Amino acid sequence: DAKTTQPTSMDCAEGRAANLPCNHSTISGNEYVYWYRQIHSQGPQYIIHGLKNNETNEMASLIITEDRKSSTLILPHATLRDTAVYYCIVRVIGGSNYKLTFGKGTLLTVNP
């Protein structure tokens, strides 16, 4: 019962921006959008999260639509090392519902 929908796979040219979409049309007002990535056979790594406003850190930018029903993770200058599975999840911070559910994610392949 994943609450997010992502494309199965995407390709990107090295040096170009990678834009990974995520649909979370049933998101609740107190749920944050989180992004993680998993490089082959390793544990997932946190990238970024946000509630309503766009966010940027040293790894990526997160653009959340005004209605919060979708978001886009942007890797501004993709490198070969960004090839990974990217997971978009929604979760509540605090409260009694701390379940953390992942979908199948998007396999991003960065090509030379």
Partner 1 sequence: DGGITQSPKYLFRKEGQNVTLSCEQNLNHDAMYWYRQDPGQGLRLIYYSQIVNDFQKGDIAEGYSVSREKKESFPLTVTSAQKNPTAFYLCASSPLTGTSPEAFFGQGTRLTVV
Helix segments in the chain, DSSP class H: none
93 contributes a contact to partner 1 by CB under 8 A: yes
100 contributes a contact to partner 1 by CB under 8 A: yes
Q: What angle (nearest 5°) sits at the alpha carbon of residue 25, between those of residues 86 and 102?
A: 35
| Residue with Cβ nearer partner 1 (51 or 74) | 51
Interacting positions 53-92 with partner 1 (CB under 8 A): 85, 87
Sign of CA dihedral 46, 24, 67, 71: positive
| Residue with Cβ nearer partner 1 (42 or 53) | 42
Cα distance between residue 50 and residue 93, in whole Å: 11
Least spacing, CB of residue 15 vs partner 1, in Å: 28
Which amino acid is it at 36? Y
Contact footprint for partner 1 (CB under 8 A): 1-2, 34, 36, 41-46, 49, 85, 87, 93-94, 98-105
